[in-house]
Amino acid sequence: MNIADMYAGKRIFLFAGHYGSGKSEIAVNFASALAEKHRTAIVDFDIINTYFRAADARAALEQKGVRVITPVYAKTNVDVPALPAEVFALFDDKAVKAVFDVGGDGAGARAVSGYRAEFSAEPTENFFVFNLRRQMTSSAGEIIKYFHDIQRSARLPFTAIINNTNLLAETDEVDLLEGLEAAAALSGVLALPVAFSASMAYGHTARFLSRSRELGIPVFFMEKHIFMEYGN
């Protein structure tokens, strides 16, 4: 799938999900894909725990022309931090694609609610990322609970869901296929489209690709940029 072409009509993208969902890795890869055709910036919007470690991804992102913004509020407990001017500039500069990596769960997403006016000034893509193989999101019920908790705290509606079911290097075909089926089921329950299923470029199988086509779920192939235990 060609991210730059698929989302040519949108400019601001938010990625949120429970801790360990892999939202940050997806945000990094998404920003890299956008940068192939557009001026792009990525913002670490996590005010509680910096699971997106900019140092891990900064070099690769900047090499592709992505501007990396890591405000000083990271790792603080301020509910709604004051955004620096460089972040506000992203809302005004319509020529830049802006990717926001939002903090995990409801508490982390609360920072977004303080800037609801800025995020609502134009159509945005607000992605909810889930990983069926994480302890707190191993069932549809748990995933839906976190979906609503984060959406309520952010005070912005999600526009699509992203499947990122994996067990890092231990991921097998069963994990991939069950993630696809979960995504299709959640799409029906939540009445939202599945934007795509994320997969490491080396981790897919022919059966996984075949089933994704049958379900009409695009696959976004990624490279590993963030290296930490169950982080991102």
Residue 188, C-beta contacts closer than 8 angstroms, at least 6 positions apart: none
Measure CA of the first residue to CA of the last residue in the chain; give whole Å: 22
Would residue 232 count as lying in a domain?
Answer: no
Would residue 101 count as lying in a domain?
Answer: yes
User: So what's the pLDDT on residue 232?
Assistant: 45
Total structural domains within the chain: 1
Residues 206, 198: Cα–Cα separation, whole Å = 15
User: So what's the pLDDT on residue 67?
Assistant: 94
User: So what's the pLDDT on residue 231?
Assistant: 42
Would residue 42 count as lying in a domain?
Answer: yes
Would residue 22 count as lying in a domain?
Answer: yes
What is the per-residue pLDDT across 79-113, written as a single tens digit (0 to 9) for each? 555 667 888 899 999 999 999 998 777 777 887 88
Structure tokens at 91: 């809302």
Helix (H), strand (E) at residue 54: helix 54-63
Percent of the chain with pLDDT over 90: 62
Would residue 229 count as lying in a domain?
Answer: no
- Per DSSP, what are the bridge partners of residue 12? 98, 124
Residue 7, C-beta contacts closer than 8 angstroms, at least 6 positions apart: 13, 34, 125
Read off the CATH number of the domain in which 111 is found.
3.40.50.300
Find, among 15, 16, 32, 22, the residue nearest to 168 by Cα: 22
User: So what's the pLDDT on residue 97?
Assistant: 97
Structure tokens at 28: 């990094």
Q: Give the confidence band of 229 by pLDDT, cuts at 50, 70, 90.
A: very low
Would residue 71 count as lying in a domain?
Answer: yes
Would the pLDDT of 77 be above 60? no
Residues 152, 134: Cα–Cα separation, whole Å = 22
**Residue 56: phi, psi to the nearest 5?**
-70, -35
What is the per-residue pLDDT across 6-58, written as a single tens digit (0 to 9) for each? 898 999 999 999 888 999 899 999 999 999 999 999 998 876 655 455 556 88
Helix (H), strand (E) at residue 106: helix 105-113
User: So what's the pLDDT on residue 79?
Assistant: 55
Would the pLDDT of 209 be above 90? yes
Which domain range does residue 35 map to? Answer: 3-222
Residue 65, Cβ neighbours under 10 Å: how many?
A: 15
What is the per-residue pLDDT across 171-205, written as a single tens digit (0 to 9) for each? 999 999 999 999 999 999 999 999 999 999 777 89
User: So what's the pLDDT on residue 172?
Assistant: 94
Q: What distances in angstroms separate CA 54 from CA 39, 71, 153, 182, one per listed residue? A: 19, 11, 25, 31
